[in-house]
Structure 1
Amino acid sequence: MTNTLVPQPYGLRLEMMLARGLSPAEALALIRRGDAAALGERVNPELNWEGFVVYAQANDDRIAAALQDGYAFPFLTIGGMKNLLSIKFGLAEERDYRYAEGRIEGLRLTADDLAAFRRMVPSYWQFALTEAESGGGPDRTGTAEIAIEMDQRGGR
């Protein structure tokens, strides 16, 4: 488990880099070049990478640790969570899960993906197992259906 915290916009950009097939070492080398245009070309030309480059240069150790050992979001909005599900796992609202009244429902993840996702998401998001395959609980080969909602005690 990691203690490295990365703000939502920058963590999502790291996930985009990894989703594009860059290894953590390749991503770190590209980030350290400080070339926003190259990041745009290689990862996503529709995003402005300038702010990310400034953040990464000021937080090199944090970015390196996040890529090497993983990270968590200190704060994650529902929109950020939907983006994370899309970027990291290729999941889309309505096709792979439902969102209504502040709650994600019907989300199916493998046990490994669920564990990785839970490590990243702040603790004010509550996960509830709604269904599991493979003998009543998620295992390495099974999947779990979960619901996620914000803790009603105030979020943070």
Structure 2
Amino acid sequence: MQVETVVIREATENDLVSIVALFADDPLGGHGDTTEPEALPDYRAAFARISVSQNETLYVAELGGEVVGTFQTMVTTTLTGRGSSAMIIEAVQTRADMRGRGIGAAMIEFAVECARQDGMRLVQLTSNAVRKDAHRFYKRLGFTASHIGFKLKLK
């Protein structure tokens, strides 16, 4: 039995509809994502901002030529840690019917290896408090729950 390989690559604008569908299908996210055509210009504008940023990269995971996952990385440099840089992983999403096949682990391991190669001090991420399965998943990959996050919604 041949196991398909997960391919991780930078997202292109052609992937946008598939990426948005991943977020729109997320019942826990609560971000108001939608596949309605009138929302596409908002997603295109965001993609354009991400694609020109030197500190952000949007990725997709493919299996059998289909987009089955996505995540985004950001690099931030602070004066703490002697002026070191850290990678933040955001917007991790695996297509619901593909969970449990190692796609999420492949995406996170890819991001961690990129951070390691780029000399980052650490990799961090946040996860919605209601995502208990995701918390177990991140702990299994070696992450520790070390901080409490806060948000202030502006829109």
TM-score after normalising by structure 1: 0.30
The structure with the largest helix share of the pair is: 1
Which of the two has greater strand per residue?
A: 2
* Structure showing greater relative contact order (alpha-carbon pairs closer than 8 Å, 6 or more residues apart): 1
